[in-house]
Amino acid sequence: MKKQLVAVTLDIQDLIKNYPPEYSCKNKKTKFEEALAIHKNQTGKIGVSRWKFAESQSPFAKNDVSVKLCDEYFSYDDADTADTKVYYLNYADPNLFGYYDSDLFAQDEIQTLEHPLLGSVMEYIDKNETSVLKSLTEENGEPTPYIVEGAPYWLKVVTNPTLPTGETLNLYGRNFCRASKEILDIAVTPIKEERANNIIALAAPALGSGEYKRKQIEQILKAVIASFSAALALADTKKCVIHTGNWGAGAFGNNRELIYLAQLVGASVAGGAELVFHAIDAGDFAEAKKKFDDWKGSADFAECVDFFVKQHYHWAFGDGN
């Protein structure tokens, strides 16, 4: 159900010295430099792999999926242990980490600021591009998700900080790069200890209208199945936990129920990862979970797509960020 296109191992010191993130947003640059002062001598390796969906002769059997719900956005408190491998989704653009440097500040850009060397990964790929190593999570209409293992976690970001006056702000969207130093110091905290997270970067289709076309559903399922299957393969014998949420249902305007159901089915056919859904719509998730419980598995990919087409899902609207 997945095919590895390429895998490289990158040295953290090489990334810091030769492929540093380059920010056009002054506030992002300032916070990166604060974190770099703490972590400039950090050593270690980052694993980077690119994947695609591959048809399987095996039926799309239904495997058990453990599900947990969390009201908060990613806190990154859950990390790898001796017997568990933990991943966090990056709600990617078709250009891998493509706007990490910009004034934009949605989930992708928040996560790449928290893990600044994700920007370095993009810079490395762009400067060492090959026919398969490209900073694209989608190519020729086909999903090509990335998995980044061991991305250093340098900054903790709170997008709704509370000021000493009691006022709560919203730094989502373009507000972050307009914020004052005083606000930034409250919202962004450098992490002093060495920590790392595993990131799954996959792009959903964007800004459609009306009822979903079969090709769009195929794209969603291929992205999820390929990336979740890859995550399970890289976890090997360890338990695989994937933290996710409203992937593709913010700026890209996808239907939330469809997105939840696709992730449940994707985790199931991939082999049964544990999913932790963050900050989701409870009503839409309940409907998705009911349909997942009713789903009996599929003979093949086409039949799995048929199951989704029969739900007659319609596009929602992007949130403008």
Instruction: Give the DSSP letter string of 218-268.
Output: HHHHHHHHHHHHHHHHHHTTSEEEEEE-STTSSTT---HHHHHHHHHHHHH
- Token pair of 291, please? 């349909």
* Cα–Cα distance measured from residue 135 to residue 124, given in angstroms and rounded to the nearest whole number: 9
Which pLDDT belongs to residue 37? 99
- Token pair of 76, please? 């990154």
Question: In a 10 Å sphere around its CB, with 0-12 CB exposed, 13-18 middle and 19+ buried, how is residue 309 labelled?
Answer: middle
The CATH homologous superfamily to which domain 2-309 belongs is Leucine Aminopeptidase, subunit E, domain 1 (3.40.220.10)
- For residue 321, pLDDT over 70 is answered with no
pTM over 0.95: yes
User: How many Cβ atoms sit within 10 Å of the Cβ of residue 45?
Assistant: 12
- For residue 155, pLDDT over 70 is answered with yes
Say whether 79 sits in a helix, a strand or coil. Answer: coil
Q: List beta partners, residue 298.
A: 60
DSSP at 120? H
Domain chopping of the chain, boundaries: 2-309
User: How many Cβ atoms sit within 10 Å of the Cβ of residue 61?
Assistant: 13
Residues 6+ away with beta carbon under 8 Å from 85:
198, 231, 234, 235, 236, 238, 239, 240, 241
Per the rule left: phi > 0, alpha: psi between -120 and 50, beta: everything else, 207 is: left
Q: What are the tens digits of pLDDT across the range 97-146?
A: 999 999 999 999 999 999 999 999 999 999 999 999 999 999 999 999 99
